[in-house]
């Protein structure tokens, strides 16, 4: 399982970097900015997590995360037309969702093992890890962050992380199976949101004025 999640992790990093370059390309960015923003999107959330946990940042111990992010950004930059093909783009969105699910549950695991502010803080950190990189990308590139859109991205993460914390609290003997289940739940919810264009329901949104 360890080695399996290690490889899914790289698939997630790849998808984060690829989707970053794809959403920014229409604005006209240069190669260097593409790589920088690809890296920041891919490892930004985990970096904020590690700084809050006060542990060494994960990408310094294993440079493969950076190399993969750089490689994915480079390929996307030069082969943009390939990735904007509808099927490939959709595939990337799904892998991005799988990566977010995996990183969130890994983070809950890490924070829980450190006894870091149980039970609430691990959930918060899981969300930070899943959406932090995307928030940094949007802020640095002047895009509206996903917190201001109705996209269903972070809510599945919240649900999955909360379930996993409940599981760690009450049936810790099923941790491994539970982690897999929670990753699957987050991914299923996110995949459903991508597939059927689900958004946050109207009654859960404040009434915008002058809109």
Contact set with a copy of itself (CB under 8 A): 24-34, 36-37, 39, 47, 51-52, 54, 56-57, 59-61, 63, 66-67, 77, 80, 116-117, 120-121, 124, 127, 135, 139-142, 144-145, 147-148, 150, 154-155, 158, 200, 204-211
Q: Which CB, 118 or 175, lies closer to a copy of itself?
A: 118
Count of alpha carbons within 13 angstroms of residue 98, beta-carbon side: 18
Q: How far apart are CA 87 and CA 64, in angstroms?
A: 27
Q: Which CB, 1 or 148, lies closer to a copy of itself?
A: 148
Going by the DSSP 8-state scheme, the letter that residue 144 receives in this structure is P
- What is the closest distance, in whole angstroms, from the C-beta atom of residue 163 to a copy of itself in the complex? 16
Q: What is the DSSP string of 41-60?
A: HHHHHHHHHHHHHTS--HHH
- What is the closest distance, in whole angstroms, from the C-beta atom of residue 30 to a copy of itself in the complex? 4
- What is the closest distance, in whole angstroms, from the C-beta atom of residue 6 to a copy of itself in the complex? 18
Length of the chain as a residue count = 211
- Residue 75 · residue 21 · CB < 8 Å: no
- Residue 106 · residue 98 · CB < 8 Å: no
- What is the closest distance, in whole angstroms, from the C-beta atom of residue 143 to a copy of itself in the complex? 9
């Amino acid at each position: 399982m360890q080695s399996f999640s290690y490889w899914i992790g790289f698939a997630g990093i790849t998808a984060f970097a690829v989707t970053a370059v794809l959403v920014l390309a229409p604005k006209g960015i240069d190669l260097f900015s593409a790589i920088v923003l690809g890296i920041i999107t891919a490892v930004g959330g985990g970096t904020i997590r590690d700084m809050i946990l006060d542990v060494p940042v994960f990408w310094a111990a294993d440079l493969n995360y950076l190399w993969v992010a750089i490689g994915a950004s480079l390929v996307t930059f030069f082969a943009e037309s390939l990735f904007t093909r509808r099927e490939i783009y959709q595939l990337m969105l799904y892998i991005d969702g799988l990566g977010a699910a995996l990183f969130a549950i890994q983070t809950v695991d890490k924070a829980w093992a450190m006894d870091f502010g149980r039970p609430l803080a691990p959930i918060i950190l899981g969300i930070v890890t899943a959406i932090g990189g995307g928030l940094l990308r949007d802020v640095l590139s002047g895009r509206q962050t996903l917190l201001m859109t109705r996209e269903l991205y972070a809510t599945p993460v919240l649900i999955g992380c909360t379930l996993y914390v409940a599981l760690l609290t009450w049936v810790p003997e099923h941790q491994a199976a539970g982690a897999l289940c929670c990753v699957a739940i987050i991914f299923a919810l996110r995949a459903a949101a991508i597939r059927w264009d689900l958004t946050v329901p109207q009654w859960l949104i404040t009434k915008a004025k002058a809109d």
